[in-house]
Structures are given as structure tokens and as C-alpha cells.
Copies of this chain bind each other. A is one copy, B any other.
Amino acid sequence: MGRIKTSENFSRKNIILNKAAALFKEKGYQAASMRDLAEIVGVEAASLYNHIKSKNDLLNEICFKVANKYNQKLSNIETENSTCLSKIESLLRFHIQEMVENFEEVFVSDREWKHLIEPYLTNFQTQRKTYRKRFAAMIDAGIKNKEIKKIDSTTAVLIMLHAISGIESWHRSKQKISGKALEESMITILVGGLKK
């Protein structure tokens, strides 16, 4: 009795969630069928509904799980006692690491959220917008500080977040550099582009 406790949750529902993230990432939400998912999980399609409410509910759980994690991290970084530039670097490193290590759910949250349905769709969009504003505020603080060159902070956020979401194509490449080397290259270019 008593399973071994780890940081991962291997309940049936969590297995389904993880497989769904991989499937949605590969095929796109709409093109992925519940029969596809059932086959991967190893049950009949109807059986999935003992663990989940609907296909859209799976997307919901993936998207908000990721959003919560990112909001949490941003809050932690905001309260750090350090320069703006090093806060931004921390945040970028977090984004890059998440994209390297948990890229399936991060990718789905990033690219498939438009298939969410109301009221979750609006909720999610609002969270995204808020996150970007807080990120831009960090950049603006750095510009005021004279740590960062005078740039449009909204554009800078757009560039950095999308550059990172492009790590997906790094995953697909055959002769790829290591995750750590990728992180260092990205930081050099992105943070280098901000510095005075």
C-alpha cells in the first residue's frame, strides 16, 4: 500500500493530460481526435470520459497549468532585489528552460489557446495581456535606470517571447546543440540587444 511519492503525478488523469499535450502539439488541437488520444493511452475513446469532462477541458487544463506556473515565476522575480537587466535575464532563462524541458504543454498553451471556449478564452487572453504588461514594465524600469537602451518595450517583449517560442524548431532539428548551449546563445543575443 502507499505509492512512492515523487514530484510527478502518475494518476490516470495526469497520464491522459500529458499524452494529450503531446498529441495536441503534434497535430494541433482540432486535428487531434479523442480516438487518437485513446489509442495512445491504451483504452477505448469512451473510457477517457471517466477521467475528463470533454476534449476542450483537456486544453483548458493544459493552458491554465502553464499560465499559473509563469505567473508564479514572474511574481517571484518581480520581488527580487536585483537590477532590471538581471531580472529580465532570469525570466528569459526560465522561459527557455521551460521550452526545453516541458515544451509540449508550453507549446500547446502558446499556440492552441485560441481554441479555448468562453469564459476561459477571455480569461486566458486577459492573463496573457497582463503578463506582457508586467514584463514590459520591467524593461521600462531598466530604461529609466539607464541599464537598457531606449527601445519600445512592447516590441521588445514581443520579440523575446516569440523568439523563445521558436525553440520548438530547435527540438525538431537533428544535429542540435545542447539545451544549455542554446540557452547561453539566446541570452547573449537577446540580452545583448537590450544593453546600452
Contacts of A155 in B (CB 8 A): 170, 177, 182, 185-186, 189
Contacts of A30 in B (CB 8 A): 28, 30-31
Is the beta-carbon distance between B151 and A188 smaller than 8 angstroms? yes
A152 within 8 A of B: yes
Q: Which of B163, B169, B181 contacts A163 (CB 8 A)?
A: B163
A159 within 8 A of B: yes
Q: Which residue on chain B has the smallest CB distance to residue A125? A: B172
Task: Give Cα A181–Cα B77 distance, bound, in whole angstroms.
Answer: 30
Task: Give Cα A141–Cα B111 distance, bound, in whole angstroms.
Answer: 34
Contacts of A152 in B (CB 8 A): 177, 181-182, 185
A115 within 8 A of B: yes
A22 within 8 A of B: no
